[in-house]
Amino acid sequence: MGFKKIDGGVCAAKGFLANGLNCGLNSNKDKNDLCLVFSEALCNAAAVYTQNKVKGAPITVTKKHLEKSGGKAQAVIANSKNANTCNADGVEKAERMCRLAASVLNIEPEKVIVASTGVIGKVLPIEPIENSIDSLAKGLSHTANEKAATAIMTTDTVKKEAAVQFEIDGVVCTLGGMAKGSGMIHPNMATTLNFITTDAAISSQLLQKALSDIVKVTYNCLSIDGDTSTNDMVSIMANGLAGNSEIVEENENYSIFKDALYEVLMTLTKMLAKDGEGATRMIECTCCGAPDLDTAIIVAKSVVRSPLLKCAIFGSDANWGRILCAIGYAEADFDITKVDVDMRSRKGTIAVCRNGSGVEFSEDEAKTILLEDEIYIDINLHSGNTQAKAWGCDLTYDYVKINGDYRS
């Protein structure tokens, strides 16, 4: 299935508007800290949340809203700089944000998805949001996706957006999204916020299934630092304005939709990996020849989350033993004596391990390959026909500097 990559992020699909501004949560007036995404039509909606036992108040409220509305939503309101987590009044503040958005949009509060990201344990001041909500709504536009995307950034150095067009029964549909995240990323859904919009018509039940399935092989295969955040969320709203017949069963059209969703989420996942706090290199690990999907995921994730391997990549050191070590402690069953490992970049490929043992290679050639900013590690278990990918980044001095002074 071919996809056409387009601009527009959360505003790429028909009927979606967005806006972002600085309401005062961030003292730097040049940085947006509050955003709104709105659909002109009621949407079927779904979400996946952090698996951390400590959950931000917005997670609690959003889950309650989607349950109460029967999987319906029409807007997202989100802020950065403050996570609204571990606060006695957190739920009250999150619900207040939803009521504020609902009031200016003339919709019901339970049709609003709410999200927050930033410092944990700091009381969220609601007054700046109250004072800015009218301006936020008045500025809603079909072209203000970048304002929204920058409003959810914390230590991110770049905005993260993606969108594709695809056809279902001859009808052109669009799916786009925005994400934030740079550190505290080790999903089972990490500090990432991800908002997806589509004009395709699809039932709430299949929307939830598609999202859960694709998150498993994209966002949940991402690890920056091994810390699972309290506020992770991926939400998707589908307003059906493309005009295709609603997808209500797992047929070819459902497969096409899932492929489009994978394309966008995979693209955003790679952006998150490349923008890891202090990162200089993105790491993509592919594990093929696995007996099943779970084994492939477990092995690939074990490699990208290894601190020693991350340090080796930072130093452009082909220390393949650290790869094999991470493969070896992965909690999966396979024969280590069958394992092959290659390392590659746009400068070439080098074999470093065959049948579980090292092979001779040129250190100079390896250095040249590993000096690139995108590094690929290819593992073949030779135990089946399934593969999966995982993403991460190197571990640098700057990561420690950023997180040693995060609250200031």
Q: What is the CATH number of the domain that holds 371?
A: 3.10.20.340
- Residue 144's identity, in one-letter code, is A
> In the prediction, which pLDDT does 219 show?
85
pLDDT exceeds 70 at position 170: yes
Residues 262, 315, single domain; the answer is no
Which residue among 274, 305, 339 closes a domain? 274
Residues 269, 300, single domain; the answer is no
Residue 217: phi and psi, rounded to 5, are -105, 10
Residues 135, 18, single domain; the answer is yes
Residues 290, 341, single domain; the answer is yes
Residues 55, 165, single domain; the answer is yes
The CB density around residue 92, as the number of other CB atoms within 10 Å, is: 14
Mean pLDDT of 3-30: 97
Tokens of 318: 């082909």
C-alpha span between 160 and 162 (Å, rounded): 7
Higher pLDDT, 108 or 120: 108
Residues 154, 43, single domain; the answer is yes
Higher pLDDT, 192 or 178: 178
Q: What is the CATH number of the domain that holds 88?
A: 3.60.70.12
pLDDT exceeds 60 at position 245: yes
Closest CA to 111 of 59, 160, 76: 76
Higher pLDDT, 181 or 230: 181
3-state class of 63 per DSSP?
Answer: helix
pLDDT exceeds 70 at position 184: no
Q: With cut-offs at 50, 70 and 90, classify the pLDDT of residue 273.
A: confident
pLDDT tens digits for 39-49? 999 999 999 98
CA 285 and chain centroid, separation:
17
Residues 332, 337, 338, CA angle at the centre, nearest 5°?
80
Establish whether 191 is a catalytic residue.
Answer: yes
pLDDT exceeds 50 at position 251: yes
The CB density around residue 365, as the number of other CB atoms within 10 Å, is: 14
pLDDT exceeds 50 at position 189: no
> In the prediction, which pLDDT does 151 show?
96
Residue 75: phi and psi, rounded to 5, are -155, 160
Tokens of 266: 């995979």
Residues 154, 240, single domain; the answer is yes
Residues 177, 121, single domain; the answer is yes
> In the prediction, which pLDDT does 220 show?
86
Residues 161, 249, single domain; the answer is yes
Q: Which of 174, 191, 267, 269 is catalytic?
A: 191
Residues 313, 220, single domain; the answer is no
pTM of the model: 0.85
Which residue among 207, 242, 274 closes a domain? 274
Query: Domain total for the chain?
Result: 2
> In the prediction, which pLDDT does 183 show?
46
The mean pLDDT value of the chain amounts to 92
pLDDT exceeds 90 at position 276: no
Residues 252, 355, single domain; the answer is no
* 78, 98 Cβ separation under 8 angstroms: no
Which residue among 274, 299, 318 closes a domain? 274
Domain extent for 379: 282-404
Residues 248, 214, single domain; the answer is yes
pLDDT exceeds 60 at position 275: yes
